[in-house]
Structure 1
Amino acid sequence: MSASPASRRPAVVLLSGGLDSATVLAMARAQGFDAYCLSLDYGQRHRAELVAAGRVAQALGAAGHRTISLDLRAFGGSALTDSAIDVPTGGVAEGIPVTYVPARNTIMLSLSLAWAEVLGANDIFCGVNAVDYSGYPDCRPEYIRAFEAMANLATKAAVEGAKLTVHAPLIDLSKAGIIRAGTQLGVDYALTVSCYQADDDGRACGVCDSCRLRREGFATAGVPDPTRYR
């Protein structure tokens, strides 16, 4: 049962437009939060995910949705922000892949922290996952714990007694588990875009790491895959 409007608390939800963050938004709403969604236009090659984020925010009843522009192509260093680096398509490999964007989660969580303090929100939700993922160091539980500790040292709200919690409800779930959870909460995954090199219409390549993990997740969960492939 959802909370009444008077008892709902504000929370900032990082929303990329992909499968994981859509599920986290549905979870935050189910837990009784008014979700203020934050997306980041960082110059990513899969810009269709930003359009998807708007669709997801509206469909799942977000209280607000903002997109911040911070062009990380100025630094590059990732296949997602540097057109000279190809997105790997040979399958999920060991190690940290070239799709890792340096400091991306730290930047996004820092921006969400700023908005949370302005909103008077004590909760931030993010969709990091340490099971079916591509080996990114900023998706690990110890990273989330460290950021939360830093946030509670860095903000006026926390110093004055309003402790902030960073929620990562997908951290220990498989991709299939995430899909099952989201399906139970009514997430329409056809609205989402996960592909690292989706075209302007949001159609997926089917061969990048993200596509492979997503396709396998639907198959394992026994849920029809609504992804539109090129």
Structure 2
Amino acid sequence: MKRKAVVLLSGGLDSTTVLAIAKDQGFEPYALSFRYGQRHEVELAAAQRVVAAAGVARHVVCDIDLRVFGGSALTADVDVPKHVTADEISGDEIPITYVPARNTVFLSFALAYAEVVGSTDIFIGVNALDYSGYPDCRPEFIAAYEQMANLATRAGVEGKSLKIHTPLIDLTKAQTVEIGQRLGVDYSLTSSCYDPDAEGRPCGHCDSCLLRLKGFAEAGLTDPLTYQESGT
């Protein structure tokens, strides 16, 4: 019998690749997505497409309205920063697209889900290279959370050590795309943009779009998504 794993799935490039990695490693994935008041809720439709294509055991979408706190361009009436090239993206400060404590919240729900389905493995697509400004994407955060999780759960107390898998944490976006390509990921199903239009087309100029486009370019591949501006 395959080991069960909870996979945090936004519907974006990274989490979709992580889902493929979990399956490739022999896990039976249980996907977990969130409707948290994000302006790019179109990603949930992408998550549904990814789940249908991957054939996961179960997909849960949790509702958490982080708009009650705001504090981010993704959950408040704040403009999403736009750039011309990926080189303009700075990792020296925490960007306005950071959602306060989001990964801490998401991992807490994943922890509960894992206990219910009898899993001791959680996969999350955090990356410390592309998003070095996000405090909850760092290896030390994941290590500390994993330690806490093993103290806070019935499974941990009973000696069933929980593991948080972060297979992309030290990879470039190009390396992530290359792994996905090798595993047969259909990136046309995904959505990465922070500020898509009404039709769900990516803007091509937010941090997430530019890093995605850079990753495909450096991998020598073409992003299958259709962007708002022709030629992007």
1:44 aligned to 2:44?
Answer: no
Counterpart CA distance in 1 for 2:177 and 2:104 is 25
| Contact 2:122–2:163, Cα closer than 8 Å, also in 1 | yes
> Partner of 2:60: helix, strand, or coil?
strand
Following superposition, the deviation at residue 200 of structure 1 comes to 3.6
* Runs of 4 or more above 4 Å deviation: none
- Which structure 2 residue ranges, 5 or more long, are not aligned? none
- Matched pairs, number: 223
> Partner of 1:56: helix, strand, or coil?
helix
> Partner of 1:138: helix, strand, or coil?
helix
> Partner of 1:202: helix, strand, or coil?
coil
What is the aligned partner in structure 2 of residue 179 from structure 1?
Answer: 177
1:92 aligned to 2:89?
Answer: yes
| Contact 1:126–1:167, Cα closer than 8 Å, also in 2 | yes
| Contact 1:46–1:199, Cα closer than 8 Å, also in 2 | no
Counterpart CA distance in 1 for 2:31 and 2:133 is 25
The aligned runs of 1:167-206 (5 Å cut-off) are: 167-206=165-204
What's the TM-score, normalizing by structure 2?
0.94
Counterpart CA distance in 1 for 2:129 and 2:186 is 23
| Contact 1:134–1:209, Cα closer than 8 Å, also in 2 | no
> Partner of 2:192: helix, strand, or coil?
coil
What is the aligned partner in structure 1 of residue 163 from structure 2?
Answer: 165
| Contact 2:35–2:61, Cα closer than 8 Å, also in 1 | yes
| Contact 1:28–1:125, Cα closer than 8 Å, also in 2 | yes
Following superposition, the deviation at residue 134 of structure 1 comes to 5.5
Counterpart CA distance in 2 for 1:134 and 1:60 is 30
The aligned runs of 1:209-220 (5 Å cut-off) are: 209-220=207-218
> Partner of 2:108: helix, strand, or coil?
helix
What is the aligned partner in structure 1 of residue 147 from structure 2?
Answer: 149
Counterpart CA distance in 2 for 1:200 and 1:17 is 17
- Which structure 1 residue ranges, 5 or more long, are not aligned? 1-6
1:77 aligned to 2:71?
Answer: yes
Counterpart CA distance in 1 for 2:167 and 2:133 is 18
What's the TM-score, normalizing by structure 1?
0.95
Counterpart CA distance in 2 for 1:195 and 1:51 is 13
What is the aligned partner in structure 1 of residue 4 from structure 2?
Answer: 10
Following superposition, the deviation at residue 201 of structure 1 comes to 2.7
Q: Deviations over 1:41-89 (max 9, x none)?
A: 0000001001100111111121110100000000000000002x11000
What is the aligned partner in structure 1 of residue 223 from structure 2?
Answer: 225
What is the aligned partner in structure 2 of residue 3 from structure 1?
Answer: none
Following superposition, the deviation at residue 202 of structure 1 comes to 2.1
Counterpart CA distance in 2 for 1:160 and 1:119 is 16
Counterpart CA distance in 1 for 2:215 and 2:187 is 12
What is the aligned partner in structure 2 of residue 4 from structure 1?
Answer: none
